Structure 1
């Protein structure tokens, strides 16, 4: 449930925080909160799935979404690429709603394309720590049993053995491996070889439910093996709106008008 931070003085003013909270979350307010079916608070007018959240990018078209060095990716280009990959995940690889899609790469722009393609395809996105060793990757892969691995070239050799053993599909981003032993016997496609996305093409016709699993995020494993923490679409959609609530509450706490 949204909450406000203490005032800058460090002396909590619970009465003021409660008034700000009530102002922002009352019926008809920008962050109106209602109790869901399970008795937990939800944003009344916010997106209820990550697919609803990402579909709003249609409205931003040519506005820059990501900048990486000399490269700029617009919202329209991003959504077209994510939609095209989502269609491929379902139609070429035969993945179905609820199947897991692992993402193992550094912070390339394609990380966002891979994550949101999984959501548009109705899959459960499983981002893995790019710093992990092969043993750590194998532990998580055995645990979540993904149907596809969306990886960059730096991670490929750490997951190739598992993919070869299980027959999982691999989509390789930023990979310069040839046809040597690393890719031998893998069901591997190179992202750079895919056709250019059609900017008018739609994502797959799937509609995840708010209660469906959206992500599995692995813990740090400080007291043992990392464990997969599952979050639903509704939980992640609410988490995406929480920073906006916090910013509005902070502005009101300073006596300013929220943007």
Structure 2
């Protein structure tokens, strides 16, 4: 009998590289992210690097040369004006806007560590992240500065830099956009903090006339670049320690996978996913920046109509998104009646892509929508469907070059090919560990392998398919049921907009399948959904109940939160088992 270990270690997926993807990669020449960025900024200096597009079509842009100069000035400001040292943490909390690359690259050029922070965080979540990371500086958009003011005293933050969504817009356009946001929409709250405006910070940095290269020229692959906090879908948010080497290697892996469809200096990528999320950070920001692409930044993709002007006004060649974003686009007449004409490819990830959505998108746009797989802890890319050759639907494709993947059982032993097992990863993109959490690090990093908690199967060609997360698996009468499979089946019904599936306690079967459905057509009934599932799924996989909702709980990037639905059910069950309170005693009659 063949040893399962040898099957994975033989890299059967390498045959699918087929000359389009190099099987091995040289160690990246760039020692750090600033070194990678510096080369791109010099090579494409006169080209537009970033354009922020508002819902009404108003926009502002920065060239590669402008990003270089501004981020240099911000680096000098951090080191010389604020007195930060190498390794100090700087939190960057803003939506997609021109200030983001300036602040992020400036932080890394200063030799500091960036802390990506979701601007939609509650004050409690902000306090946790700033306390945990030890951030000394926060660069925050003014839309949420009032939340920071309320928790600032609970943190070690010493300096606050404030920016605006239309920062660096043209002199006439910027004030108009900001005026609408502040006075018409009343979206800019007042605060009483002592802050520095970002343009003022840049001016103070320029006045110092320092050379920021001296801050980053000694950085190497082992130096910490980023604290990327996990999205919280698995518990209390932890900071994944991503080094300069992790990020530079993952950029090289991503570019190798996509080289056939990326022409340096010619691409226009739509970034609707937030740059503070690791998917867009590495794929859209770093990888496309290194390739000299123009990045079209959308501050908020919700509602999805906010993307219309970006698609209509720019020759978008690449787009990335999650299943819910693509599904929403396909339900917009402006998108389906007049689909974008220049798209070469689209990338999907963050959560499982549904086959029905992929097929409709490819038919509408005429370009491949390839699914990838990754985690915050892997910078993030682990696998991607190849852009050339055969693409297997419902799969996450094949590992990126220089990545080892195995599937293991609960004892950590590799399982035979074709059997489900936990996906474990080894490669240069795997994080250094969780910030100040050695116990949690030891749980997931074992023997050089990152244990992902995801269950997958591998076919004979080395293509992987995610079955589901181990903790999302439903156990029905001893049978393993995976929500992704059921959600994909439900998505094929024409009247369904989106769905989520969880397991609920059941006296007979241990757990039962419960589906939550958002209707596309109001005439949809539970009986129709159940009949549809009976035609596609075996008995124990079929939902026992369908609950209709106007919307489903989601993360900031659109991943559906099954956890919230489970907590809701468990809360109802707990309340149902709680004896009713005794009736209140009647009040004494008034005299």
> Which TM class, normalised by the smaller chain length?
0.7 to 0.9
How far apart, CA to CA, are the structure 1 residues paired with 2:105 and 2:259? 27
Residues 1:168 and 2:179 aligned together: no
- Structure 2's unaligned 5+ residue stretches are 1-10, 54-58, 166-177, 183-188, 261-385, 391-591
Which residue in the other structure is 2:125 paired with? 136
Contact 2:75 2:205 in 1 (8 A): no
Contact 1:137 1:159 in 2 (8 A): yes
The normalised TM-score by structure 1 is 0.75
Shift, 1:162, TM fit: 3.7
How far apart, CA to CA, are the structure 1 residues paired with 2:136 and 2:112? 10
- Give the stretch that moved more between structures: 164-173 or 107-116: 164-173
The normalised TM-score by structure 2 is 0.35
Shift, 1:45, TM fit: 3.9
Contact 1:163 1:169 in 2 (8 A): no
Which residue in the other structure is 2:507 paired with? none
How far apart, CA to CA, are the structure 2 residues paired with 1:119 and 1:84? 12
CA distance 1:14–1:173, change in 2 (3 Å): closer
User: Where do residues 192-203 of structure 1 align in structure 2 (5 Å cutoff)?
Assistant: 192-194=199-201, 195=203, 202-203=211-212
User: Where do residues 137-156 of structure 1 align in structure 2 (5 Å cutoff)?
Assistant: 137-156=126-145
Which residue in the other structure is 1:47 paired with? 30
2:91 to 102, 118, 130: 102
- Give the stretch that moved more between structures: 165-174 or 89-98: 165-174
How far apart, CA to CA, are the structure 2 residues paired with 1:167 and 1:53? 29
- Structure with more relative contact order (C-alpha pairs < 8 Å, separation 6 or more): 1
Radius of gyration: which is bigger?
Answer: 2
The secondary structure found in structure 2 opposite 1:96 is coil
CA distance 1:197–1:77, change in 2 (3 Å): farther
Residues 1:233 and 2:216 aligned together: no
CA distance 1:135–1:73, change in 2 (3 Å): same
Shift, 1:15, TM fit: 5.9
How far apart, CA to CA, are the structure 1 residues paired with 2:34 and 2:46? 20
User: Where do residues 1-259 of structure 1 align in structure 2 (5 Å cutoff)?
Assistant: 14=13, 16-17=15-16, 20=19, 24-25=22-23, 31-32=25-26, 44-56=27-39, 57-69=41-53, 70-164=59-153, 166=156, 168-174=158-164, 182-184=191-193, 186=194, 188-194=195-201, 195=203, 202-206=211-215, 207-248=218-259, 250=386, 253=389
CA distance 1:120–1:67, change in 2 (3 Å): same
Shift, 1:67, TM fit: 1.1
Q: Deviations over 1:6-60 (max 9, x none)?
A: xxxxxx9746236648x7245xxxx33xxxxxxxxxxx24423112111111221
Shift, 1:181, TM fit: 7.4
How far apart, CA to CA, are the structure 2 residues paired with 1:64 and 1:196? 25
- Give the stretch that moved more between structures: 95-104 or 52-61: 52-61
Which residue in the other structure is 1:35 paired with? none
Contact 1:216 1:228 in 2 (8 A): yes
Shift, 1:204, TM fit: 4.5
- Structure 1's unaligned 5+ residue stretches are 1-11, 33-43, 255-259
How far apart, CA to CA, are the structure 2 residues paired with 1:18 and 1:64? 33
Which residue in the other structure is 1:8 paired with? none
The secondary structure found in structure 2 opposite 1:119 is helix
Contact 2:46 2:65 in 1 (8 A): yes
CA distance 1:18–1:112, change in 2 (3 Å): closer
The secondary structure found in structure 2 opposite 1:24 is coil
Contact 1:81 1:197 in 2 (8 A): no
